[in-house]
């Protein structure tokens, strides 16, 4: 049993009052005790560890638990309240879940990103439930005049065995508000969990399948207008002139205006990134009328010269510059430049031993290069937001992963204090990192302020796909040195991209090889990029795992045995001190997937297997992918997934995340790409941007979780990166051809 302090800071418990009619409401603000990895710190805000929530118990025993973080499909709106309910010993059937409001005076760091919601909220959410439970017990002890330690709780009921007395939580709720908040509370042992570790249906599930209004696109306010934007057709261009006479004359059109999303002297946060600062906006009565008027605009564009943008760090204590070079960029030129990036500009990220000497004396050197294109997020629900800005307040509502940061951005842009900005969070039809960047929230506010009316800004699919914040384009070269006995003696990775490097220098196989060199590089671009599901890992994991298979084959070793040998070295005698993975847990998922897939057993004729494993977002995932060739095309028959993400809060939701990430990873590696010609995206909609189709998804996905008492870690992103390596390795087994460039479907003639 764990003892946890409730007094994390002077604001820990903000309020404790009786509800009208008798009941209990506790307001919480607490710091989570766990620490992020260095990679998490570099990708996510440095001070987002403070989580908050409301817990309300009515006199009838109904419990309302507020879910603090944005819901983007990862099911935290179910899982986070489950954690509170577990420590409260609540009856889940009597739990009502509500989306917590954005309220920066009570809640902080309400953010969906980095697969951190459950991990960062674990201790705080448990504390909320345990504290309320202890106060209810104390109230019952006072009322029954018995020792508190003799009272037990179960399923929303208090019991005193010796006296035979019992009471529902609702009966003691009002009295519990008179109990002082305890300085510390006891948390359950994991073996005593009754809710955590059991499958609970999505609390919004019925509303989703019956079409209830939940999403931003569903949001409606009487009298609101519809707005759409026009932005430059190519990266490297800016607005020159506008002829809006024809558009303004069309039926239902209220106005055509030009806006600047941010003021010229504004220092942006990381989440204010956008590609096009000056936009033309059409405002009208209906979506159809506005879409047609937008087509009637006569717009001229001109090239811009290179410039720098100033951004605040996550903490806001420092700034850095981001270069936006001029010019109209092309995918072909990108590939040539990445392939010939000057060696003198490489940055050494890690060096163990003497890799240069080892490569010189090597009997055999294996060298392979890999590439991946830009990718668009393509969330099912395109960007949208409602705004009604008046002289003294701003009301906003819609889907965004960073509502608190956007509240600050809106306040700065429209000149209102924070306490006059109200952002309501809707459920989001996909995020994947795209909705971390809330320029569309600011745009909606500026438009409403300009036209002095409530407005809903809606991006078309083409707007969304061509506005930027893409997954970067990447390139990596791997080398392995073998001695005369066919043993691995050195390893070298050189990785970079446009405009960022995907390298994680301290991840496996770092720490497992005496002579190791990791080098990084970056290339400037005016094509804007941002976080994409499992940033950087979504490329480097797959290519690393594909290369390791080639090395294993050259060494005449089983690919799983080869990885386990390296991990054994990293466990017993690690090289270096900065290895950011637990080698034993890494090996654990490989051993589990080997067992569950019967890896050592002879396969049926025609079934080809690929394996991979990876660590990211504090979790470990291993895959075995089974493939057959059907009509000379690959078909993924089955995928085995072994996952170590610590304690699994809601198994059915966890399985869904693993299955979704698996399908997503196969689809992006096999089919998706965004290319550019003279700065213009060549794929503007799904007629040219290829996503995986139903018939191409695995016919079965089998998910196995490592039994663990470790605190929960990330799960929304970790299943995504490694499956790409398993896919590449299975393709090789099935076709005899290695695939080095995504999307694999482009590497003909093997794949039709």
Q: Nearest 5°: phi and psi at 500? A: -135, 160
Given this model, what pLDDT does residue 17 score?
A: 46
Give dist(CA 82, CA 482) in Å, integer.
Answer: 52
CA distances from 712 to 203, 342, 600, 619, 750 (A): 21, 42, 31, 9, 41
On the question of pLDDT at 107 being above 70, the answer is: no
Give dist(CA 515, CA 725) in Å, integer.
Answer: 24
Give dist(CA 458, CA 685) in Å, integer.
Answer: 16
Give dist(CA 258, CA 4) in Å, integer.
Answer: 54
pTM here? Answer: 0.94
CA distances from 172 to 89, 92, 131, 157, 566 (A): 14, 18, 14, 10, 58
Q: Nearest 5°: phi and psi at 165? A: -80, 145
Closest to 423 in 3D by CA, of 287, 219, 716, 117: 219
For residues 620-624, average pLDDT: 98
For residues 246-264, average pLDDT: 97
| Angle of CA points 324, 327, 329, to nearest 5° | 95
On the question of pLDDT at 173 being above 90, the answer is: yes
What strands lie across the sheet with 364-372, from one edge to the other?
Answer: 347-352, 515-522, 488-498, 473-482, 364-372
On the question of pLDDT at 10 being above 60, the answer is: no
Under CATH, which architecture does the 343-374+470-746 domain have? 2-Layer Sandwich (3.30)
pLDDT in tens, 472-527: 999 999 999 999 999 999 999 999 999 999 999 999 999 999 999 999 999 999 99
Q: Which fold has domain 221-308+383-458?
A: Aldehyde Oxidoreductase; domain 4 (3.30.365)
Q: Nearest 5°: phi and psi at 580? A: -100, 20
On the question of pLDDT at 9 being above 50, the answer is: no
Strand-pairing partners, residue 24, are 57
On the question of pLDDT at 49 being above 60, the answer is: no
Average pLDDT over all residues of the chain: 92
Give dist(CA 562, CA 68) in Å, integer.
Answer: 44
Confidence of residue 319 (pLDDT cuts 50, 70, 90): confident
CATH 3.30.1330.10 fits 2-209, yes or no: no
- Sign (positive/negative) of CA torsion 64, 66, 70, 75? negative
pLDDT in tens, 337-352: 999 999 999 999 999 9
Give dist(CA 618, CA 87) in Å, integer.
Answer: 24
Task: Say if 2-209 and 221-308+383-458 have the same CATH topology.
Answer: yes
By percentage, how much of the chain surpasses pLDDT 70? 92
For residues 632-656, average pLDDT: 97
CB 72 within 8 A of CB 401: yes
CB 132 within 8 A of CB 57: yes
Given this model, what pLDDT does residue 15 score?
A: 37
Confidence of residue 47 (pLDDT cuts 50, 70, 90): very low
For residues 134-147, average pLDDT: 97
In sequence order, the 6+-apart residues with CB closer than 8 A to the CB of 409 are 262, 268, 269, 271, 272, 438, 441, 442
CB 351 within 8 A of CB 517: yes
pLDDT in tens, 91-106: 999 999 999 988 766 6
pLDDT in tens, 200-242: 999 999 999 999 999 999 999 999 999 999 999 999 999 999 9
Given this model, what pLDDT does residue 479 score?
A: 98
pLDDT in tens, 676-713: 999 999 999 999 999 999 999 999 999 999 999 999 99
CA distances from 132 to 92, 170, 589, 692 (A): 16, 12, 37, 47
Closest to 123 in 3D by CA, of 74, 50, 55: 50
Strand-pairing partners, residue 253, are 284
On the question of pLDDT at 751 being above 50, the answer is: no
Given this model, what pLDDT does residue 39 score?
A: 39
In sequence order, the 6+-apart residues with CB closer than 8 A to the CB of 57 are 23, 24, 25, 63, 64, 132, 136, 169, 170, 173, 176
On the question of pLDDT at 117 being above 60, the answer is: yes
Where are the chain's structural domains?
Answer: 2-209, 221-308+383-458, 343-374+470-746
What strands lie across the sheet with 23-31, from one edge to the other?
Answer: 13-17, 23-31, 50-58, 63-67, 95-99
In sequence order, the 6+-apart residues with CB closer than 8 A to the CB of 108 are 29, 48, 50, 52, 404
Given this model, what pLDDT does residue 5 score?
A: 72
Q: Nearest 5°: phi and psi at 715? A: -145, -20
Alpha helices in 417-511 (DSSP H): 439-451, 461-465
By percentage, how much of the chain surpasses pLDDT 90? 85
pLDDT in tens, 429-481: 999 999 999 999 999 999 999 999 999 999 999 999 999 999 999 999 999 99
Confidence of residue 23 (pLDDT cuts 50, 70, 90): confident
The DSSP call for residue 450 is: H
Give dist(CA 569, CA 114) in Å, integer.
Answer: 30
């Amino acid at each position: 049993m764990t003892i946890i302090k409730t007094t994390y800071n002077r604001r820990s418990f903000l309020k404790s009052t009786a509800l009208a009619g008798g009941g209990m409401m506790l307001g919480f603000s607490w710091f989570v005790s766990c620490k992020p990895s260095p990679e998490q710190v570099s990708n996510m805000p440095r001070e987002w560890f403070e989580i908050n929530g409301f817990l309300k118990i009515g006199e009838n025993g109904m419990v309302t638990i507020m879910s603090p973080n944005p819901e983007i499909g990862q099911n935290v709106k179910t899982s986070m309240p489950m954690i509170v309910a577990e420590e409260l010993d609540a009856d889940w059937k009597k739990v009502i879940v509500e989306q917590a409001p954005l309220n920066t005076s009570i809640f902080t760091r309400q953010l969906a990103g980095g697969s951190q919601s459950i991990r960062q909220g674990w201790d705080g959410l448990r504390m909320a439930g345990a504290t309320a439970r202890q106060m209810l017990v104390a109230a019952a002890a006072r009322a029954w005049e018995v020792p508190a330690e003799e009272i037990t709780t179960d399923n929303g009921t208090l019991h005193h065995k010796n006296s035979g007395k019992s009471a529902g939580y609702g009966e003691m709720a009002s009295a519990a508000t008179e109990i002082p908040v305890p300085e510390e509370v006891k948390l359950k042992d994991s073996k005593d969990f009754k809710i955590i570790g059991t499958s609970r249906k999505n609390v919004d599930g019925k509303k989703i399948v019956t079409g209830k209004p939940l999403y931003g696109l569903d949001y409606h306010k009487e009298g609101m207008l519809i707005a759409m934007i026009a932005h430059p057709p190519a990266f490297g261009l800016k607005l020159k002139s506008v002829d809006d006479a024809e558009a303004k004359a069309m039926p239902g059109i209220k106005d055509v205006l030009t806006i600047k999303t941010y003021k010229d002297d504004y220092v942006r946060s990381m989440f204010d990134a956008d590609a096009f600062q000056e936009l033309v906006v059409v405002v009208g009565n209906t979506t159809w009328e506005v879409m047609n008027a937008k087509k009637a605009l006569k717009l001229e564009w001109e090239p811009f010269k290179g410039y720098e943008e100033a951004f605040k760090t996550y903490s806001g204590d420092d700034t850095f510059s981001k270069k936006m070079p001029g010019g109209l960029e092309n995918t072909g030129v990108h590939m040539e430049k990445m392939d010939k990036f000057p060696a003198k500009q490489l940055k050494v990220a890690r060096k163990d031993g003497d890799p240069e000497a080892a490569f010189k004396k090597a009997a055999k050197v294996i060298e392979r290069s890999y590439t991946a294109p830009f990718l668009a997020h393509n969330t099912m629900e395109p960007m949208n937001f409602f705004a009604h800005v008046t002289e003294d307040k701003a009301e906003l509502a819609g889907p965004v992963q960073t509502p608190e940061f956007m509240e600050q951005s809106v306040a700065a842009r429209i000149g209102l204090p924070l306490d006059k900005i109200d952002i309501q969070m809707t459920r989001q039809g996909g995020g994947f990192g795209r909705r971390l960047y809330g320029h569309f929230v600011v745009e909606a506010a500026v438009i409403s302020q300009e036209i002095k009316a409530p407005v809903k800004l809606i991006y078309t699919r083409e707007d969304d796909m061509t506005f930027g914040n893409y997954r970067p384009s990447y390139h990596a070269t791997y080398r392995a040195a073998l001695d005369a006995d066919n043993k691995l003696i050195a390893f070298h990775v050189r990785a970079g991209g446009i405009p960022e490097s995907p390298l994680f220098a301290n991840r496996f196989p770092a720490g497992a090889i005496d002579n190791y060199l990791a080098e990084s590089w970056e290339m400037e671009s005016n094509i804007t990029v941002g976080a994409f599901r499992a940033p950087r890992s979504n490329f480097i994991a797959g290519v690393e795992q594909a290369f390791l298979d080639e090395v294993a084959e050259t060494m005449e070793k089983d690919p799983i045995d080869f990885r386990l040998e390296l991990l054994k070295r990293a466990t017993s005698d690690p090289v270096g001190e900065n290895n950011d993975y637990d080698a034993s847990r890494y090996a654990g998922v490989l051993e589990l997937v080997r067992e569950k897939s019967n890896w050592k057993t002879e396969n049926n004729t025609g079934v080809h297997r690929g394996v991979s494993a990876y660590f990211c977002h504090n979790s470990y995932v291993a895959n075995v992918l089974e493939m057959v060739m059907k009509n000379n095309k690959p078909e993924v028959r089955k995928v085995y997934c072994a996952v170590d993400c610590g304690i699994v809060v809601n198994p059915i939701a966890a399985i869904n995340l693993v299955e979704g990430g698996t399908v997503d990873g196969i689809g992006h590696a096999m089919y998706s790409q965004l290319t550019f010609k003279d700065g213009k995206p060549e794929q503007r909609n799904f007629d040219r941007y290829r996503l995986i189709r139903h018939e191409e998804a695995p016919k079965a996905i089998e998910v196995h979780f490592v039994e663990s008492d470790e605190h929960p870690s990330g799960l929304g992103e970790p299943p995504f990166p490694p499956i790409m390596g398993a896919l590449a390795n299975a393709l090789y087994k099935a076709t005899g051809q290695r695939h080095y460039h995504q999307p694999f479907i482009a590497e003909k003639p093997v794949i039709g």
